[in-house]
Amino acid sequence: MKVLLVCGARPNFMKISPLIRAIDRHNFSGEKPLVERVLVHTGQHYDYQMSELFFQELELPRPDVHLGVGSGTHAEQTGKVMLELEKVLVELKPDMVIVVGDVNSTLAAALAAVKLHIKVAHVEAGLRSYDKSMPEEINRVLTDHISDYLFTPSRDADENLIKEGIPREKVFFVGDVMVDSLLYNRKKASQRRILDVFNLREGNYALLTLHRPSNVDDKENLSRLVEAIYEMGQQLPIIFLCHPRTRINIEKFGLISLFQMDKSAANSKGVLLTEPLGYLDCLRLMMDSAFVMTDSGGMQEETTVLNVPCLTLRDTTERPITITQGTNTLVGNDTRRMKEEANAILEGRGKKGIQLDFWDGKAAERIMDVLIR
Ligand code: UD1
């Protein structure tokens, strides 16, 4: 069985890594059929901090194929991945293509494969924010509807798929591969010295990430958010791991003076703006933070597993289970709500999570079991 795994953007790498480990473990066990794996990197993310560093930390093998598509408009990026991947698929003739998550590379790869009548497996299927203004929502819906195997991280995702008319026999509730990565790397992350680099004390800072177009591309929105975060930073230090897209806009909109840049002074009040960190440092900072503010999808899950309160700066989430059962609270871009919820957390009234079904580090194993069967 020849399986081609596709990754392209930062949040893909921690989902692909447990799958590769599961394939290698299966092959090592000598059980039949052996699985030949081909790893393809589309090149959607290309900065060292957004890609290469994750390959090293997650012990990912060097990609067998690199498509090198880079940045561009949605159509350019999606189109380029399709054009380049199609050539690879025609040449290598895999039995199956595995795509993960909801980025442009995910949809592009699924489309290129299905048109060549190659089976597609979608890992992290069924998540819905029901907000079509998010490019990821379009990627999720379309990828799910052209996939043959839909591996879901939570039961609500199964229900979403069934409601949309996807046959039940294509849907497999396996748990969350992102959690596989987190649990596998938790100990290593806890040994990182990143708190010393920033001169921080455990529990005495908040962590911030922000990169959704709806939050960072519009001058007025971004300014309001940044000003509110600046005020919150007067109460406790905030470490802002700034995505390249956000950094460009902060400079363009003249907001850079609201941040401090001196890493060693991050323990004093204010908002420290720093480059995106690798997986392990980011995990360590998350673990020991008082709370996290983010518009990322993955961090909503990771904070739930780590039992750290999370304020999500979005109006909707495709991961409602992190709200109903986890530590997540949606605050949108309502800056008053952000401050109120942050105060509640600092006064000890933050949400506590519970262990979610199948978020146990074995999702990739379950996926392999299904594929082998
Ligand atoms: C993409 C995903 C998003 C995911 C995010 C994680 C889509 C539609 N969006 O958004 O779901 O949460 O990745 O980061 O697929 N850039 C760099 N270096 C890089 C990559 C990007 O400087 O290595 C800059 C470029 O200016 C680029 C911009 O960031 O144009 C946006 O990158 P892109 O991959 O289009 O989207 P993200 O915002 O990263």
Minimal-distance CA residue to ligand 1 atom 14:
10
- Helix orientation angle between 279-287 and 298-306, rounded to the nearest 10 degrees: 50
Together in a domain, 148 and 109: yes
Q: Which helix (H) or strand (E) holds 36?
A: strand 36-41
9 CA → ligand 1 middle, Å: 7
User: Cα separation of 339 and 370, whole Å?
Assistant: 45
Is residue 266 in a domain? yes
Q: What are the strands of the beta sheet with 310-312, ordered from one edge?
A: 271-274, 238-241, 206-208, 291-294, 310-312, 328-330
Give the separation between CA 258 and CA 130, rounded to whole angstroms. Answer: 34
Pick from 14, 54, 141, 211 the residue to mutate for probing ligand 1's pocket: most ligand atoms within 8 Å of its CB.
211
Task: Tell whether 11 is covered by a domain.
Answer: yes
pLDDT value of residue 341? 97
How much is the average pLDDT of 104-117? 98
Q: Whose CA is nearest to atom 22 of ligand 1?
A: 244
Residues spanned by the domain of 306: 188-346
Q: How far is the CA of 45 from the centre of ligand 1 (A)?
A: 6
Q: Give residue 243 CA to ligand 1 midpoint distance, Å.
A: 8
Give yes or no: residues 150 and 252 share one domain. Answer: no
Q: Is residue 184 scored above 90 in pLDDT?
A: yes
Same domain, 42 and 87: yes
Long-range contacts of the stretch 295-300 (C-beta < 8 A, 24+)? 295/209, 295/210, 295/211, 295/212, 295/215, 296/11, 296/209, 296/211, 297/11, 297/102, 297/127, 297/136, 298/11, 298/14, 298/178, 299/209, 300/326, 300/328
Atom 31 in ligand 1: residue holding the nearest Cα: 245
pLDDT in tens, 196-244: 999 999 999 999 999 999 999 999 999 999 999 999 999 999 999 999 9
Name the CA radius of gyration of the chain, rounded: 20
User: Which atom number of ligand 1 is nearest to the Cα of residue 11?
Assistant: 6
Distance CA 341, CA 309 (A): 10
Pocket test for ligand 1, best of 82, 245, 317 (most atoms within 8 A of CB): 245
315 CA distance to ligand 1 middle (Å): 20
In a domain, 353, yes or no: no
Task: Please give the tally of structural domains in the chain.
Answer: 2
Residues 117 and 203 in one domain: no
Residue 12 contacts residue 143 (beta carbons within 8 Å): no
For residue 186, pLDDT over 90 is answered with yes
Position in ligand 1 atom list of the atom nearest CA 47: 23
Q: What percent of the chain has pLDDT over 70?
A: 100
| Same domain flag for 95 and 236 | no
**Residue 354 covered by a domain:** no
Closest approach atom of ligand 1 to CA 104: 15
What the block records as the tokens of 55 is: 């390959």
Q: Give bridge partners of residue 119 from the DSSP assignment.
A: 96
| Average pLDDT score over residue span 137-146 | 98
Same domain assignment for residues 54 and 153: yes
Over residues 255-314, the pLDDT tens digits come to 999 999 888 877 778 999 999 999 999 999 999 999 999 999 999 999 999 999 999 999
Is residue 367 included in any domain, yes or no?
Answer: yes
pLDDT of residue 373 exceeding 90: no
Which of the listed residues 49, 77, 124, 243 should we mutate to test ligand 1's pocket, taking the one with most ligand atoms within 8 A of CB? 243
Query: For residue 120, which of 133, 111, 128, 129 has the smallest C-alpha distance?
Result: 111
In-domain check, residue 243? yes
CA of 43 to the centre of ligand 1 (A): 11
Backbone angles phi, psi at 324, to 5 degrees: -70, -35
Q: Which atom of ligand 1 is nearest to the CA of 77?
A: 35
Residues 140 and 277 in one domain: no
| In a shared domain, residues 41 and 20 | yes
Domain shared by 75 and 144, yes or no: yes
- Whether 351 is covered by a domain: the verdict is no
Antiparallel, parallel or unpaired: β 96-100 and 2-7:
parallel
CA angle 163, 167, 173 (to 5 degrees): 80
33: tokens are 């059929």
> From the CA of 170, how far away is ligand 1's center (Å)?
30
In this structure, the answer to whether residues 197 and 316 fall within a common structural domain is yes
pTM: 0.97
The answer to whether the CB of 6 falls within 8 A of the CB of 352 is no
Query: Are 77 and 107 contacting, i.e. CB atoms less than 8 angstroms apart?
Result: no
- Note whether residue 181 is domain-resident: no
Q: Are residues 68 and 165 in the same domain?
A: yes
Same domain for 318 and 205: yes
CATH number at residue 116: 3.40.50.2000
> Under DSSP, is residue 176 helix (H, G, I), strand (E, B) or coil?
coil
Catalytically active residues, by annotation: 211
Which residues have C-beta atoms less than 6 Å from ligand 1?
9-11, 44-47, 50, 71, 102-104, 135-136, 211, 243-245
